[in-house]
Every structure is written in structure tokens, then in C-alpha cells.
Amino acid sequence: MLLRQYKGFLIAMLANGFLSLALTELNHHLAGWSITLLIPAIFVLYAGLNLHYLQGLTVCLLTGLFHDAALPVPEGFFTLTLPTLHLIFHHFRSKLHKKGGLGTILLAQTLNLGTLILLHISLSSGLTESIVRHLPLILLQLFLSQLLLFLIGLYFLDIQRKAVTLTRARFVEAKGRST
């Protein structure tokens, strides 16, 4: 079956889509306080640790295109950032445990923080007033984003891994052969 070799890719895309939807809904409810939570590193965890390089890169590119279209960020920011994060995770995947762990979450936290700082720097260049006025809100957003990544990062990775495990069921064709 052709879909069997792409099941990790499909599960990663579906999981990223559902998480994007949940994160968008959360950000909608936090918009009254001018808070936006972004956790780009979580969209790369499974693809970087468990998929082949090209499949993971494709997942990251498509997720980045979706985020660039849905979020008010500079054009192409996530389209370039997510594949870069994927490259870093893929490079360190031999040193990290595929199920997650302290090393995985620390790398994800570091990369997420670096990405968010880069995003805030690129967005602050368009401000007409000083960034010092917005600094407490930026620090609060960074803290809450890092906390959210810490709380759900490994759980999200585990959900994707279990979904792949559940889809490993063998199918029986009409002729009685198992495939």
C-alpha cells in the first residue's frame, strides 16, 4: 500500500494542523490581553526526530507556509525558520532520544526561545515608539510560550508516536492475503 510509507508524514501533517488550530483558538482568547503564544519548535519535534530527512523537511515547509499565511509575521519567516529548526533537530537526532527526554526538551526550549527573540527583533523594527515600552509584554509572551512548550512538548511528540504505532495494523486484502 502506497500510503503505508507516508503514514508518518500524514500523521505529522494532521497533528501539526490540529495543534495549529488549538493554538489559534487559544491565541484568540488571549487577544483581549494582547498576548500571542507561539511555539514553532513543537511543530518540528516529531519530523526532526522520527521522519526521514525529506519527509520531515516537507512537513516543516508546509507547516511554515500555513503559519506564514495565518499569522501576522514577516513574509516567509516560518517558511524559513521551521526547516532550519528541522535541520538542527535532524542533526542532533542521534544524540537525542526519539521518545523525547530532557535533552530533547532543552534543545526545543533553546531553539524556540531563539526563534521568538528573532521574531520579536524583526517585528520591533517597524515600531514607531521605543521597544522598552513593549518589553514587559514581550517578556510575558516569551515566558508563557516557553512554559506551554515545556508542558505539552513531549506529550505532543508522544501522541504522534502512538498514532503511528496504532496505524501499524495489518490490512487483509480481498484475496485473503495480508499486506
Q: Residue 98 CB: number of other CB atoms within 10 A?
A: 12
pLDDT tens, 112-154? 999 999 988 888 877 777 777 878 998 999 999 999 999 998 8
How far apart CA 97 and CA 75 sit, in angstroms, is 34
Q: Residue 163 CB: number of other CB atoms within 10 A?
A: 17
Q: What does the pLDDT read at residue 177?
A: 45
Which of 2-6, 31-35, 59-63, 168-172 comes out lowest in average pLDDT? 168-172
Identify the three-state secondary structure at position 172. strand
Grid coordinates in use for 172?
Answer: 487483509
Tell me which residue of 170, 160, 169 sits closest to 13, measured CA to CA: 160
Q: Are 50 and 92 in contact (CB under 8 A)?
A: no
Mean pLDDT of all residues belonging to the chain: 85
Identify the three-state secondary structure at position 178. strand
Domain residue ranges of the chain, discontinuous segments joined by +: 2-166
How far apart CA 40 and CA 112 sit, in angstroms, is 6
The answer for residues whose C-beta is within 8 angstroms of residue 96's C-beta and 6 or more apart is 49, 89, 103, 104, 107
pLDDT tens, 45-80? 999 888 899 999 999 999 999 999 988 888 899 999
Q: Residue 18 CB: number of other CB atoms within 10 A?
A: 12
How far apart CA 3 and CA 110 sit, in angstroms, is 35
